[in-house]
Amino acid sequence: MDHAATAPLRPEALEAMLPFLQSGGFGNASSAHRFGQRAQEALEQAREQVAAVLNCRPSEIVFTSGGTESVNAAIKGVAMAQRLSGAGNRIVTSTVEHDAVIHTCQYLEKLGFEIAYLPVDRYGLISPEAVAEAIDANTALVSIMLANNEVGTIEPVEEIAAVIRGKGRSLRKRIPFHTDAVQAPGLLGIDVENMGVDLLSLSAHKFGGPKGVGGLYVKRATPFLAQQSGGGQERQRRAGTENVAGIAGMGVAISLAESERESYVREVSLLRDKLMAGIELAINGVELMGHPEHRLANNVHFAFDKVKGDELVAALDAHDVAASAGSACGTAVWEPSHVLLAMGLSLAQAAGGLRLTLGAESTSDDVDYALSVLPAVIEGLRESTTANAHS
């Protein structure tokens, strides 16, 4: 129950990858001979597959090493290009973004950029009006995620894009809009034309592709300075020999995720609702985190009173239930979630956060088992906390 951290590699993706991991398909896509040409053909096929899902030109897709690089390239690439051209030095983002966005913005602050971190409401929602108010003549970029990786809240990206365009017209300048859509494929539509975004970040392993591969949509004519220097790969936007096998797997995985999206969302949302209702019925001192309706179909996130999330995750693991206390990228040094704190929870409340995220292979029996284990685990941890407090 930790599919937001990563999803299993789809057999179809593995099948697409294997020829490029074996003799005969190992060519460098930049080589002119037939081995290189075969690799190049695989790259372009995957580029077309990703572009078809995003409803954009294949030439607007840049392959990267994952979501983190895609976010870094988007934010730094636009910020640097905008500052060099004199278009602005201010970035508008939110307090509930993934660490890849937050830490990239903190890095740019050290280089003299001005960062506006917008607050959210108790559900983790960002107000389009707040975005509009934060934009000024010095704004170079806006970066707001499509769906929150921890609490599952879906942000009003289309409305935000509209206010950005409106503010840009009044200021007589183009303000690029980036969205971190890493959690969205297979769960939400990611049509860039409908959303109105200029840049969009993806990570293959979140939707059944391999780890170590990602994608970045960069709308044509968007100001962008490549952040990785070297050869001329990816149309001068990301140097380095491409991971042909991984990219081939990503192309197949995103195509399948989109083709199955509607049926998957119907099925997994039923399991999610069963899990949410079961937890609320069986356990006292628990509060649902994230928006009750505008949330990802596979996401369940609760804050439990008098429990520490890291201890809860360890106790559930002992019962063969894989869960998370927050983002999988932030577990090296555990601390209360910055997302929950931004939503107004106290340190004590935020410490008790637990994320359960379902996947395509999740079953009703899996939910029943989790519901049979969780109440006793919570009770045991609370009793232990009380006993320690009295000792």
Question: What string of DSSP letters covers 359-374?
Answer: -TT--HHHHHHHHHHH
The runs of H, that is alpha helices, within the chain are 11-17, 34-54, 67-85, 99-110, 128-134, 157-171, 192-195, 233-236, 244-259, 261-282, 309-318, 338-342, 347-350, 364-390
The CA distance from 76 to 176, in Å, is 12
3-state secondary structure of 219: coil
- Longest CA–CA span in the chain (Å) reads 74
DSSP 8-state class, residue 2: B
* Token output for 257: 């995720």
List C-alpha distances in Å: 167 to 164, 172, 293, 294. 5, 8, 29, 26
Q: Which of 46, 59, 327, 367 is nearest to 183 (CA)?
A: 327
- Beta-carbon-side half-sphere exposure of residue 166 (alpha carbons within 13 Å): 11
In this structure, are residues 19 and 25 in contact, taking their beta carbons and an 8 Å threshold? yes
The CA distance from 125 to 107, in Å, is 25
Percentages of the chain per state (helix, strand, coil), in multiples of 5:
45, 15, 40
Q: Is residue 329 flagged as an active site residue?
A: yes
* Token output for 369: 């088992």
Which of 314, 329, 341, 373 is flagged as catalytic? 329
Catalytic residue annotation: 329
